[in-house]
Amino acid sequence: MPYNDDFRVKRIKKMLLEMAKGNFFYALEPFEKNDNIASLVVLLNMVNEEIRAAFVHQGFANAHTTPQCIIQLSLILDGNGQIELVTNGTCSLLSYLPKDLIGRPVTEFMTEKSKEKYTKKLYKHLKRERSETVIFLEFVTNEGLVLAKDCQISVYQALDGSGQKILLNTVFFSKGEPFETGLPKKTLKVTKGIKEHKVTLTPKDIQIIRDVHDTIINNLAQDLPSLKELAHQKGTNEYKLKYGFKQVYGTTIFRFLIQERLRMAKTLILHSTHTIKQIVQMTGFKSKTHFSRAFKDKYGRSPSELRS
């Protein structure tokens, strides 16, 4: 039966309230009427899908989009903040060997801003026998890249009587997709196989790379210029753009473009009334055949099977 505008607006209000409560598994079915309210429903479902795909909260992950690659950054420090133990994941993330980390102050691997925040906030916690807090910290890798994350800081007394200890812990992850097959292995080992001279990425370089990322996301229906031209437009060179993008996002620019086009297509198939042909055009694919093949390779189902 046709829904009136008042009913549809109430449904949208209900969805917004569910999202505000942290429920990102609530979605609205598409309406047959093609107007501004219907367009808003599609956009809300897309936003909800994006949040849900990246949603990990207090150890809970959506079973259909469970992160495929989780690396835990964990450090045990003494009461003076010197590193005593590290995990292999920590060494992988920071690109240091254990011997390069152990025995050194953890603040040596932070940005200046984070050093100040960490030292100031932890000072009062060290006065207590046991304490826990969360601090947003920025770590600098051996290549000069910045890893930023909320970190759980736990202060405790060692059972062996060796005094006060500090556990610093956080998780980095790359999200998966439902029905996905053929995920690349070791997605965070982005420099493996690169034999050219590695370049140092400055904060300005990283900002340019993030700008390219945003440009791709906001123009999925458009063809990208050549990498050489794109790099020139953004004020960098082609090699630094390719190398830096893979360092920051763990994949090539072309693969990222295809991945985001497919993800947008999946959301439109599930939450809009657009035909498959319209979705092909909206997501920048050259042909329906090419789109269907790429979609099935990634999600294990054809577009028509997913919609049915």
Residue 235 C-beta-side C-alpha neighbours within 13 Å: 7
DSSP strand pairing (83-86 vs 56-57): unpaired
What is the maximum span of the chain, computed from C-alpha positions, in angstroms?
A: 72
Contact 244, 206 (CB under 8 A): yes
pLDDT confidence of 181, banded at 50, 70, 90?
Answer: very low
Which residues are CB-neighbours of 100 under 8 A, at least 6 positions away?
none
Tell me which of 63-77, 87-101, 257-271 is least confident: 63-77
Tell me which of 35-39, 115-119, 261-265, 281-285 is least confident: 35-39
Contact 297, 286 (CB under 8 A): no
42-49: average pLDDT: 78
For the chain, percent helix, then strand, then coil, each to nearest 5?
Answer: 45, 20, 35
DSSP strand pairing (146-157 vs 164-174): antiparallel
CA-to-CA distance for 247 and 242, rounded, in angstroms?
9
Over 70: is that where the pLDDT of 63 sits? Answer: no
pLDDT confidence of 110, banded at 50, 70, 90?
Answer: very high
Per-residue pLDDT at 3: 66
- Beta pairing partners, 234: none
Percent residues over pLDDT 70 in the chain: 81
Over 70: is that where the pLDDT of 235 sits? Answer: yes
pLDDT confidence of 54, banded at 50, 70, 90?
Answer: low
Cα distances (angstroms) measured from residue 258 to each of 107, 139, 302: 39, 30, 16
Cα distance from N-terminal residue to C-terminal residue, the chain: 20
Per-residue pLDDT at 45: 78
Per-residue pLDDT at 58: 34
DSSP of 120-170: HHHHHHTTSSSEEEEEEEEEE-TTS-EEEEEEEEEEEE-TTS--EEEEEEE
Length of the chain, in residues:
308
For residue 193, the tally of other CB atoms under 10 A from its CB is 6
Per-residue pLDDT at 53: 58
CA-to-CA distance for 114 and 307, rounded, in angstroms?
47
How is residue 255 written in tokens?
């693969």
Which residues are CB-neighbours of 29 under 8 A, at least 6 positions away?
271
Contact 111, 138 (CB under 8 A): yes
CA-to-CA distance for 192 and 63, rounded, in angstroms?
30
Per-residue pLDDT at 2: 55
Per-residue pLDDT at 284: 92
The answer to whether the pTM exceeds 0.85 is: no
pLDDT confidence of 1, banded at 50, 70, 90?
Answer: very low
Per-residue pLDDT at 193: 45
Over 60: is that where the pLDDT of 55 sits? Answer: no
Among 183, 182, 136, 150, CA closest to 56: 150
108-114: average pLDDT: 91
Q: Which element (helix H / strand E) includes 143? A: none
Which residues are CB-neighbours of 130 under 8 A, at least 6 positions away?
155, 156, 157
pLDDT confidence of 103, banded at 50, 70, 90?
Answer: very high
Over 80: is that where the pLDDT of 10 sits? Answer: yes
pLDDT confidence of 8, banded at 50, 70, 90?
Answer: confident
287-306: average pLDDT: 88
Per-residue pLDDT at 31: 64
For residue 147, the tally of other CB atoms under 10 A from its CB is 15
For residue 212, the tally of other CB atoms under 10 A from its CB is 24
- Beta pairing partners, 137: 149
